[in-house]
Structure 1
Amino acid sequence: MAAKKQVVAKTNKRKRPNTETREAPSNSKVSKFVASKKHKPESAAKEKTKTPLTGRERRLHAKELANARKKKRKRHYSLEQELARLWEKMRRHEIAKEDRARLVTEALQKMKGKIAEIAGSHISSRVLQTCVKHCSQDERDVVFEELRPHFLTLAYNAYAVHLVKKMLDNASKKQLAGFISTLRGHVAPLLRHMVGSVVVEHAYELANAAQKQELLSELYSTELQLFKDLVSLKENRLLDVMSKLGLQKGSVLRHMTSVIRPILEKGIVDHSILHRVLLEYFSIADKLSVTDIIQQLSSPLIVRMIGTRDGAKIGILCVKYGKAKERKKIIKGLKGHIDKTAYHQYGCMVLVCILSVVDDTKLITKVIIHELQTTLKELVLDKNGRRPILQLLHPNSSRYFSPDDLASLNLSIPSLSLKDQSEASSLTEASKVSLGEKESKEDMEVEMDEVNKEKTSVDDSDLAESGKKDPFVRRQELLIKSGLADKLLDICIESVGELIRSNFGKEVLYEVATGGSDGIMHPTLDDKINSLHNAISSLAAMPKSEDSEEDHVLENFHSSRTIRKLILDCPNFASTLWEKALKGKSELWAHGHSCKVISAFLESPDPNVQNLVKKELQPLIDNGIMKNPKPKEQASQ
């Protein structure tokens, strides 16, 4: 029975047909499957035997794939590639003007109608800048008109902003006025943008006075933003505009605060239009608002602001009205930039203010004086670099500082000025006295207590405009104790010939030779000052030579006038010069520029100097070789 069951089981089992002998079924799907199974081993073998790609082939293949992706992603990719090839030819220096003009025209034809779309591209914006620079005026006008509706959009683009600036540089007066009119209502948002602020600043620099006022007035008040014709060119100061239009001070302050604060928080402080707005804000803002702004600016930000006229004024105001903590931040922020700042036309005035106001002379010596000493000779010979040194030698001299420079040093903020506050408090007391009959005694006592509190808060603050230390003591610490005067004397003695013939160096040499104003260098450095007198006298004692390329110091335009001034103002120098260089030779030098030097001895206010030379010069006067000049004191009387 068991055997039978096994037989039955074997007979019921399905036998697999032989795949080699059987035919494929008629079903097409099955036939395809079988065919794929047959050919799969052959394809795998082919892949295994295929040779690998070289490095160059892989790079070319990757480049093709990248170009294919860029074509899908960028609409004008092929056009940009064509423009780039043209640009490589037109930007060469050695290309002929005719060939460049042909290439520029060809590029502009290809871009026609698509300029606004491709202007924001890294490549196309560069091509457009070159085309705008070298194309004809008619072609430039066509580009301007095509871009005009899109200027605001392009002003926010990091690449297109350079094209917009180039268009403004080459724009006509009418086109510039049209561009500025498109900015109306968008000046404040653009100034808050890192890229857009560059466009506003560029337009502000190119604008005339009326257009500048148009841009500024939008930042003052919402009324002026909506109605630009309210302000005329005559009212260029914010206080004048407010008084004429009757604008409320509170609303103007709120609007200006909402404009200024976001800009300062983002650190966009490089632009002169913002510096102008800040100056106007200081003129009307209350004490708390101004101190907040000064605290924000008293950092490395101030270094980026002092490159403009108004920015330097803001720097001066921050130094004058900042507390000790803010002043310390400003000085430390200037560390490493002292040399560059001293050479700057406006930045040097911030250094002058620091040397005149800040009482922390140890910090100034460490940060400013030591850095100035490294390039002292170059600074003495520079028009702007000599000013901080001259401020220590002769403070606030109209001989070395223009009226504008002195006015900037005397700037004040009304809400923080001690003088203005004292005047305001005196007016308050006077008004209270006049109203005393109407008010009760208790009310008067309460108000007087408030006035006293205001006074104490002003007196106890660190807002000392000119510092609390005696100015002469401050100058001594910065000039003498720091070693600056000693090194200055060494440079003057070593380079006396170069400095005395220099237009700017001669003034520092004169102040050093006289010992500075108020005799600040006497008696500590008298020996070195006498050495300088001897060095100048040695130059004057050199024989007159016609073969020499340099003029003699007694005949040179700058040096002869410096020596004359020294004779009139420094009797010690006059006697040294006479004894060492001119005694017995006065007739030789009684002609030309040197004649003024000889005459200075007779004009000297010191009678000892006159008596020293009278015996030798009187015969020259009698013989008509020299005129008899009046002494300086008699001439002034």
Structure 2
Amino acid sequence: MAAKKQQVEDTKKRKRINTESHQSPSKPKASKFVASKKPKPHFDNKEKKNVPLTGRERRLNAKELAEARKKKRKRHFTLEQDLARLWEKMRRHEIAKEDRAKLVTEALQKMKGKIHEIAGSHITSRVLQTCVKHCSQAERDGVFEELRPHFLTLAYNAYAVHLVKKMLDNASKKQLEGFISTLRGHVAPLLRHMVGSVVVEHAYDLASAAQKQELLLELYSTELQLFKDLVSLKETRLLDVMSKLGLKKGSVSRHMSSVIQPILEKGIVDHSILHRVLLEYFSIADKTSVTDIIQQLSSPLLIRIIGTKDGAKIGVLCVKYGSAKERKKIIKGLKGHVEKTAYHQYGSMVLVSILSVVDDTKLITKVIIREIQSILKELALDKNGRRPLLQLLHPNCSRYFSPDDLASMNSSIPSLSLKDQSEASSPTETSKVSIGDNDSKEDMDVAEPEVNEDKTSMDDSELAESGKKDPLVRRQELLLNSGLAESLLDTCIENVGELIRSNFGKEVLYEVATGGSGGILRPTLDDKINSLHKAIASLAAEPKSEDSQEEHVFENFFSSRTIRKLILDCPDFASILWEEALKGKSELWAHGHSGKVIYAFLESPDSKVQKLAKKELQPLIDNGILKTPKSREQAAQ
């Protein structure tokens, strides 16, 4: 009974509590029971801590806590905060020079004696760079002297390296010489470091020829690293240095390999000092070592190398002496970078080398030609971009390629060059030659009756370094089969006025209009070439007008010379030009630049062209209206 009675009371109690909780808050129902159970709340210190903080309060607390931790961890935290506030003021563009100078002086005073300690911070390194840029020379010298003993340490720091570069940019000759001296013995370790290599490269770019040689020498040999005064700095080539000192090729090669390999493995290949070292290494290394280096470089790494003069030479050598597999990797690595490479002063020569050497014309068409076809006009008008086009139209022409460019394309690696090996071999050894392209054996017998595609005979020694295909066949496949020539002709016809008046475009236009070297574009594209001749003649047939913004093609410096050259070298064009633009109008164009164009008809080696114009031009010469080259020379004197 007692249990039943207790159960009834509990049920009543629950109902009473539920009823009170559902009452409207505007009309609270008083209950003695609830009042006795819920006393008036009283807050002590512990309960205050449990009150939830606002978002702003949490952020402020977190900031205070972080600053407290930084003060304990960072020795110069307060100084960094002060410098950051000064930096925000001094770096503004609108600030007066006098005010900035005061802020810079104040910042340098605060940092004095602690510069080397705070230079590695991402905040204070920026402050220091701004101070070095805008401070006086005396203040800059003071900073340099304070940092001098710590340059090597700072060179390895990701933030301090920018300050070191800024100091070098503003350094005097004496200071730069002192800095390069501090690098002695540390060049190779720095080049192996991703950050340190940037400092060495920057110093190498700013250095004089003698200082550059000083940096290079310790990468060649241990002896040269230890005894700097062994070599006169007049010797620039490694072979000359070795010859003078009697250094052994094997020891030098091993030392250079120990320097180069770790750098290549880390992929630190962007620097010109490394490119120079690689070129010198190629001149003394054995066949196996050179082949290993070419294999390592025949990858996306090559794109990063060909941006310098020496790097482009390395790229040309990799294309020239790489196997078919390695050449394929090089070409595929250029995918998406062809346009940028074509416009580059040095990189364009690597494209020229690929077009001249590689036999896989289908791959070249797919990767390189297709990308070139979309920008033919821009390439033709560019000084460097026109080179690949001109190489296909007129290979190795000294008019379009400088002696340095031609020397780069003809450069060789002694240990891999078949020509050098054949000259060095004795008469009893001439039955063996080393294999050039796509080789799997060291030597092969010339007397072997069957030669597969991975072997080459002595008669093919030149082709081993320039491809096994006939150069004319390769050009036809790249120009005609790929559709490049037709696209180029269409581009020339559509933009004939712009190209013929351009300093660089006129050369591409001339080669296309003449059908290319050896008439490679004829007879396949004779109709298109004839259309181009008519397009040029139509420009020439336009009346002479003083109001026109553009010079007439007969009077423009570049176009008049191009037309004159076409008259001399292309009889078909000369006939079309005479009939459509000059017949009966010769006297109008007998003066100035246009007079040279008119007289070219009489200078033409083709008798038909001379006969075409002689009847009309001879009276002009007799009357002194049209001057001959001799009369022009006499007038100039």
Range class of TM-score, shorter chain: 0.7 to 0.9
Structure 1 CA distance for aligned equivalents of residues 185 and 600 of structure 2: 66
Aligned match of 1:361: 361
Query: Partner letter of residue 484 of structure 1?
Result: L
Answer whether contact 2:492 2:509 (CA < 8 A) is retained. yes
Aligned match of 2:615: 615
C-alpha deviation, 1:158, in angstroms: 0.3
SS at 2:600 equivalent: helix
Aligned match of 2:139: 139
Aligned match of 1:459: 456
Query: Partner letter of residue 355 of structure 2?
Result: L
SS at 1:464 equivalent: helix
Query: Partner letter of residue 149 of structure 2?
Result: P
Aligned match of 2:491: 491
C-alpha deviation, 1:427, in angstroms: 5.4
C-alpha deviation, 1:628, in angstroms: 4.7
Structure 1 CA distance for aligned equivalents of residues 445 and 243 of structure 2: 31
Identity %: 85
Answer whether contact 1:299 1:333 (CA < 8 A) is retained. yes
Aligned match of 2:234: 234
Question: CA-to-partner distance for each residue in 1:357-413, whole Å, 9 max, x for gaps?
Answer: 000000000000001111111111000000000000000000000000000000000
Q: Does 1:576 align with 2:573?
A: no
TM-score, normalising length: structure 2: 0.87
C-alpha deviation, 1:429, in angstroms: 4.2
Answer whether contact 1:418 1:458 (CA < 8 A) is retained. no
Query: Partner letter of residue 426 of structure 1?
Result: S
Runs ≥4 in structure 1, deviation > 6 angstroms? 454-458, 460-463
Question: CA-to-partner distance for each residue in 1:445-483, whole Å, 9 max, x for gaps?
Answer: xxxxx9866998973899921100000010011011111
Query: Partner letter of residue 371 of structure 1?
Result: E
Query: Partner letter of residue 534 of structure 1?
Result: K
Structure 1 CA distance for aligned equivalents of residues 223 and 297 of structure 2: 29
Query: Partner letter of residue 580 of structure 2?
Result: K
TM-aligned CA distance change 1:427 to 1:243, over 3 Å:
farther
C-alpha deviation, 1:231, in angstroms: 1.6
Aligned match of 1:71: 71
Q: Does 1:401 align with 2:398?
A: no
C-alpha deviation, 1:625, in angstroms: 1.3
Q: Does 1:340 align with 2:337?
A: no
Structure 2 CA distance for aligned equivalents of residues 243 and 454 of structure 1: 35
Question: CA-to-partner distance for each residue in 1:191-221, whole Å, 9 max, x for gaps?
Answer: 0000000000000000000000000000000
SS at 1:270 equivalent: coil
Greater CA deviation, 515-524 or 372-381?
A: 372-381
Aligned match of 2:526: 526
Structure 2 CA distance for aligned equivalents of residues 256 and 588 of structure 1: 70
TM-aligned CA distance change 1:281 to 1:541, over 3 Å:
same
Alignment of 1:115-154 (within 5 A): 115-154=115-154
TM-aligned CA distance change 1:585 to 1:80, over 3 Å:
same
Aligned match of 2:476: 476
Aligned match of 1:506: 506
TM-score, normalising length: structure 1: 0.87
Structure 1 CA distance for aligned equivalents of residues 296 and 178 of structure 2: 36
Aligned match of 1:314: 314
Answer whether contact 1:120 1:160 (CA < 8 A) is retained. yes
Aligned match of 1:382: 382
Query: Partner letter of residue 134 of structure 2?
Result: H
Answer whether contact 2:444 2:455 (CA < 8 A) is retained. no
Question: CA-to-partner distance for each residue in 1:323-364, whole Å, 9 max, x for gaps?
Answer: 000000000011110000000000000000000000000000
TM-aligned CA distance change 1:177 to 1:46, over 3 Å:
closer
Aligned match of 1:37: none
C-alpha deviation, 1:255, in angstroms: 0.4
Aligned match of 1:536: 536
Alignment of 1:209-288 (within 5 A): 209-288=209-288
C-alpha deviation, 1:623, in angstroms: 1.0
Answer whether contact 1:381 1:499 (CA < 8 A) is retained. yes
Structure 2 CA distance for aligned equivalents of residues 515 and 569 of structure 1: 11
Structure 1 CA distance for aligned equivalents of residues 45 and 384 of structure 2: 83
Answer whether contact 1:604 1:610 (CA < 8 A) is retained. yes
Answer whether contact 1:602 1:629 (CA < 8 A) is retained. no
Structure 1 CA distance for aligned equivalents of residues 92 and 336 of structure 2: 39
Aligned match of 1:424: 424
Q: Does 1:595 align with 2:595?
A: yes
Structure 1 CA distance for aligned equivalents of residues 224 and 148 of structure 2: 24
TM-aligned CA distance change 1:451 to 1:103, over 3 Å:
closer
Aligned match of 2:289: 289
Aligned match of 1:90: 90
Question: CA-to-partner distance for each residue in 1:397-437, whole Å, 9 max, x for gaps?
Answer: 0000000000000000000001011112235649xxxxxxx
Structure 2 CA distance for aligned equivalents of residues 271 and 279 of structure 1: 13
Structure 2 CA distance for aligned equivalents of residues 458 and 554 of structure 1: 55
TM-aligned CA distance change 1:117 to 1:391, over 3 Å:
same
TM-aligned CA distance change 1:428 to 1:266, over 3 Å:
farther
Structure 2 CA distance for aligned equivalents of residues 42 and 613 of structure 1: 120
Answer whether contact 1:603 1:629 (CA < 8 A) is retained. no
Question: CA-to-partner distance for each residue in 1:222-246, whole Å, 9 max, x for gaps?
Answer: 0000111112222100000000000
SS at 1:247 equivalent: coil
Structure 2 CA distance for aligned equivalents of residues 455 and 153 of structure 1: 62
C-alpha deviation, 1:46, in angstroms: 5.6
Aligned match of 1:634: none
Greater CA deviation, 460-469 or 281-290?
A: 460-469
Which residues of structure 2 form unaligned runs of 5+? 1-40, 431-441, 449-453, 631-637
RMSD, matched Cα? 2.0
